[in-house]
């Protein structure tokens, strides 16, 4: 008998997968318009912003789901905890992706199956959800980048 494990986000509230549409969840300042990821709920950090800066100026904001690779790298050796590594270790790739609208660079692992040889600076990528690690109970998922199909 095969059972499908429950899938849970490895962190709550950082991304959504509603309707299969993966989006990073940040916040945005309603006074000056600056977006933030990860979520900033404390106060707008733009020193020139004239908003109240008590957190009331920050509203939920879903970031662009596509961007272009700013840079990329891979990990050939098992990192220390709290990274949860399968045994034996499986190398993974990390991309820094520039979002055009938000004018910011966001990191994410690259979906399994893509190595550094498949990537290039400037390449268009999109968000997907992938399994970061699993235990007996569940698969824990996180946002990942993958080349636009």
Partner 1 sequence: MTRDIAVLGAGMHPWGKWGRNFVEYGLAAARTALADAGLAWTDVQYVAGADTIRNGYPGFIAGATFAQALGWSGARVSSSYAACASGAQAINTARAQILAGLCDVALVVGADAAPKGFFKPVGGDRPDDPDWLRFRLLGATNPIYFALYARRRMAMYGATLDDFAAVKVKNARHGLANPNARYRKEVTAEDVRESAVVADPLRLLDICATSDGGAALVLTSMEFARRHGIADPVRIPALSTVTPTFPKTVLDLPDFATDSAMTVPAPERPFRSALADAAYEEAGIGPEDLSLAEVYDLSTALELDWYEDIGLCEAGGAEELLRSGATALGGRIPVNPSGGLASFGEAIPAQAIAQVCELTWQLRGQAESRQVDGARAGIAVNQGLFGHGSALIAVR
Q: What angle do CA 101, 107, 111 make, to 5 degrees?
A: 105
Tokens of 39: 């979520």
Which one, 14 or 17, has the nearer CB to partner 1?
Answer: 14
Quote the least distance from Cβ 2 to partner 1, whole Å: 28
> Under 8 Å CB-to-CB from 73, ≥6 apart: which residues?
93, 94, 116
Tracing tokens 């600056």 back to the chain, one arrives at 34
What minimum distance in Å lies between the beta carbon of 78 and partner 1?
Answer: 9
Residue 20 or residue 82: which is nearer to partner 1 going by CB? 82
Rg of the chain over Cα atoms, rounded to whole angstroms, equals: 17
3-state secondary structure of 118: helix
Please state the closest distance from residue 54 (CB atom) to partner 1, in A. 18
Interface contacts to partner 1, rule CB under 8 A: 10-11, 14, 29, 32-38, 45-48, 70-77, 79-85, 92, 94, 96, 101-109, 116, 120-122, 132, 142
Rounded to a whole number of angstroms, the minimum distance from the CB of residue 129 to partner 1 is 13
């Amino acid at each position: 008998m095969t059972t499908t494990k429950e899938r849970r986000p490895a962190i709550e509230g950082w991304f959504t997968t509603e309707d299969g549409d993966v989006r990073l969840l940040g916040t945005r300042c309603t006074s000056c318009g600056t977006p933030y990821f990860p979520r900033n709920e404390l106060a707008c950090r733009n020193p020139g912003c004239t908003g109240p800066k008590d957190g009331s100026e920050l509203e939920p904001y879903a970031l662009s789901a596509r961007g272009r690779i700013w840079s990329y790298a891979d990990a050939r050796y098992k990192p220390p905890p709290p990274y949860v590594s399968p045994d034996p270790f499986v190398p993974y790739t990390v991309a820094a992706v520039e979002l055009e609208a938000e004018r910011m660079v966001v990191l994410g692992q690259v979906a399994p199956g893509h190595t550094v040889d498949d990537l290039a600076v400037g390449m268009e990528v999109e968000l997907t959800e992938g399994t970061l690690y699993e235990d007996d109970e569940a698969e824990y998922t996180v946002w990942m980048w993958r080349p636009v199909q």
